[in-house]
Homo-oligomer: A and B are copies of this chain.
Amino acid sequence: MTKVAIVGASGYSGEELVRLLLSHPHAELVAVTSRQQAGQTVGQVFPKFASHPRARALRFVDPNAELLARAADVVFLALPHGVAAEFAVPLLKLGCRVIDLSADFRLKSAAIYKEFYAHDHPAPELLAQSVYGMPEVHRAAIRGASLIASPGCYPTSILLPTLPLLRAGLIKPQGIIADSMSGVSGAGRKAELDYLFVECNESVRPYGVPKHRHLSEIEEQLSLAAGTGVTIQFTPHLIPVNRGILTTLYLAPAQHFTTADETAALGAQIAACYQTAYADEPFVRVLEGKALPDTKNVVGTNVLELAWRLDPRTGRLIVMSAQDNIVKGASGQAVQSFNLLCGYPETAGLL
């Protein structure tokens, strides 16, 4: 058993960490923090966990790095960017391992961080040591890490379908377009008019066009895989569902194809590439036959499902992915990293 704490547990990804860690076979949830909820039990703040004895006993406390470090071996940070780094620094010094769900440690460059997040990086000295917590890509590094930067939700939905193709040289690194739709939980539990029920229901809208913050980590990871600087187009949309991200990717195969034979041959290569990458991955499901991704098939799970189609009319490869933005796109993936970090089975608490 590993003692774990969650800092900033009153938001949606914090709440999901609570859910996953309360029932995790190898984690003991010893502390949860939230300034607003301090003093309340987990069961009071989240009635849906109230049947769990630990949720009735454990009370939210104000965040305090020293107390957290004394109580826990691994600390999850579910805080806004900028704030997360303030806790990561002392916690690491005090010997904790840190899994940060914010954007603070996902980039290697403090300059790019500043370009996208509009403030100086609060702890640039840690950027070299942090590991991008995407187990399917950086499994070995995660195992030995002290600071894990758990990926963003959109990046996960874009990178998992794209990286194997890019590394295999099957697609051109330039010209990638990612069009994504996200449920409203992606905006966080924030009292803002834009996210009221009436403003979101019966509505669909793009936002953050054309330079959403998540581009920074997406492009960094794609560039690493391609071995060359990659710039992509990314358009997020808000749709009226609680959870789920559906991403449709427009990719240019490196190889030309127009005839049925060329299409079939290229299709076989793509299928093999995904087979190699994901056949043994417990949390990536490549759909077969006529099936296309649907968020309702993955919501509540740590699975990302994907399907692809070649279009000989346009010469493009379309890849579509679906995931739960709060599980595989946030807290589930963080727990997956936790399992690697601690040497537990990677699927522990996630099936």
Residues on A lying within 8 angstroms of B by beta carbon are 12, 23, 47-48, 50-51, 177, 179, 181, 183-185, 189-193, 195-207, 209-211, 231-233, 235, 237, 239-244, 246, 248, 250, 282-283, 285, 287, 291-301, 303, 305, 309-311, 313-314, 316, 318, 320, 322, 351
Contact = CB atoms under 8 A, between A and B. Distances in A.
A314 B201 contact: no
A211 B294 CA distance: 19
B198 A184 contact: yes
Nearest to A252: B175
A235 B287 CA distance: 18
Contact of A189 (B193, B237, B295, B320): B193
B198 A47 contact: no
Contacts of A204: 181, 239, 241, 244, 246, 294-295, 322
Contacts of A241: 201-204, 239-240
Contacts of A303: 51
A201 B203 contact: no
B231 A248 contact: no
A59 to B, nearest CB: 15
A331 B189 CA distance: 31
A320 B209 contact: yes
B248 A233 contact: no
A186 to B, nearest CB: 10
A287 B47 contact: yes
Given A48-B296, A193-B189, A287-B47, A12 B198 contact: yes
A237 B248 contact: yes
Contacts of A305: 47
B248 A206 contact: yes
B191 A301 contact: no
Contact of A192 (B191, B209, B300): B191
Contact of A201 (B50, B189, B235, B242): B242
Given A51-B285, A318-B209, A320-B209, A240 B197 contact: yes
Nearest to A282: B51
The 6 lowest CB-CB distance pairs between A and B, nearest first, are: A210-B311, A203-B296, A205-B294, A197-B200, A48-B297, A179-B179
Contacts of A282: 51
Given A48-B301, A201-B240, A206-B248, 12 more contacts: A47-B287, A47-B294, A179-B179, A196-B197, A197-B240, A201-B241, A205-B294, A206-B246, A206-B293, A209-B320, A233-B316, A239-B240
